Amino acid sequence: MSLFLGIDTSNYTTSVAVYNSENGEMLQRKQLLPVKQGQLGLRQSDAVFHHTQQLHTLVEDIAKEVDLSGVSALGVSTRPRPVDGSYMPCFTVGENTARIISAVIKKPLLTFSHQEGHIAVALFSAAREDLFEKEFLAFHISGGTTEAVLAKGSTSSFAVKEAAKTLDLNAGQAVDRVGLMLGLKFPCGPQLEQLALNNTEKFKVRPTLKGADCCLSGLENQCKKMLDNGESKEKIAAFCLAFIQATLEKMTEKLFEQFGNLPVIFAGGVMSNSIIRNALTEKFGATFAKPEYSADNAAGIAYLAYKKYTEI
């Protein structure tokens, strides 16, 4: 059989995907968790509740187009990162559902981390499957993670080792905090980008790094100062994104000094931003997940299930 089911219940998105290995098609369904206006996120208990309410509807919806009894294997994300001690309660919703489906249809269940899913779907959507057999740098930039890892491919998956990280605020947190400051609705990334695209001013940005690690907490304070000084929302939004862009550029340069000019990929919700994407592609020839796969989704998990199943 050629169908592989993936499930991912991350901190802000419930998602289900089916990958068809015969024709290379990826079918996905996802739904953001509801966050009240003015709030920066959800408590884990609320995230678990909303995933429980949403996941079965997405499975039912995708089952209208695909006979799930015919899948060869299931994949599910069970933790945020592929390291000891990585845990977040919201992933138990997806794991428990996947275990039930696996037991009912009597097909193998393969477990992965959320971060591995992000990296895998970037390789899949950018047609860079060759990196499964090579060494490369992978950035995971989102509301919950700002990290670069050294990834070593192994045909069907990859081992990752932390290479650089944020020392305080995550990039996605900075985007959402600045967005809420400007009256935008969480998650603020797409709206902040639209404001920034209307800005015409240029900035001299000086990112703060310690080695290859970054510090982003000062960005929120700088944006607040700009707002208090009467600067336009468009200018503040553009400055926020320019600061994150400059930070990622410097981190990449530092890692190239350490590891050499390896292939580099960028994944995670913040990397769907066209301004940052275009700049990093031009400067480093970087690989990105397609925008529809940049934010949290189960597509990478479904693809990893296919890759791993071929070795069983």
Nearest Cα to Cα of residue 52 among 98, 97, 3, 2: 97
Whether residues 217 and 269 fall in one domain: yes
- Is 141 among the domain residues? no
Task: Give the β-pairing of 208-210 and 213-215.
Answer: antiparallel
pLDDT tens digits for 215-238?
Answer: 999 999 999 999 999 999 999 999
Query: Is the same domain home to 303 and 254?
Result: no
Q: Would residue 135 count as lying in a domain?
A: no
Judge whether 137 lies within some domain.
no
204 is a domain residue: yes
Claim to verify: residue 43 and residue 57 sit in the same structural domain? yes
pLDDT in tens, 146-199: 999 999 988 788 889 999 999 999 999 999 999 999 999 999 999 999 999 999
Q: Are residues 284 and 180 in the same domain?
A: yes
Among the listed residues 254, 271, 173, 262, the one whose alpha carbon sits nearest the alpha carbon of residue 213: 254
Co-location of 113 and 170 in the same domain: no
Same domain membership, residue 280 and residue 175: yes
> Does 196 share its domain with 273?
yes
Q: How far apart are CA 124 and CA 118, in angstroms?
A: 10
- Check whether residue 273 and residue 301 sit in a common domain: no
Whether 168 and 283 map to the same domain: the answer is yes
Residues 301 and 284 in one domain: no
Residue 1 pLDDT grade (very low, low, confident, very high; cuts 50, 70, 90): low
User: pLDDT at position 240, please?
Assistant: 98
- Where in the sequence is the domain holding 200, given as residue range(s)? 163-288
Predicted confidence band at 211 (pLDDT cuts at 50, 70, 90)?
Answer: very high
CA distance 288 to 307: 20
Total domains in the fold of the chain: 2
- Residues 268-302: tens digit of each pLDDT: 999 999 999 999 999 999 999 998 999 899 999 99
Mean pLDDT score across all residues of the chain? 94
Band (113; pLDDT cuts 50, 70, 90): very high
* Structure-block tokens of residue 16: 């289900």
DSSP letter for each residue of 89-101 = TTHHHHHHHHHHH
Cα separation of 31 and 52, whole Å? 12
Instruction: Confirm if 294 and 10 have CB atoms less than 8 A apart.
Output: no
What pLDDT was estimated at residue 239?
A: 98
Residues 206, 109 share a domain: no
What's the rounded Cα separation, in Å, for the pair 4 and 21?
8
In a domain, 133, yes or no: no
Distance CA 261, CA 180 (A): 37
Q: Is residue 88 part of a domain?
A: yes
φ and ψ of 18, to 5 deg: -130, 125
Residue 119 lies in a domain: yes
So what's the pLDDT on residue 37?
80
Is residue 17 within 8 Å of 6, Cβ to Cβ? yes
Provide the CATH number for the domain around residue 168: 3.30.420.40
User: What pLDDT digit, counting tens, does each position of 54-108 carry?
Assistant: 999 999 999 999 999 899 999 999 999 988 899 999 999 999 999 999 999 999 9
Please give the Cα distance from 69 to 105 (Å, whole number): 6
Q: Is position 57 within any domain?
A: yes
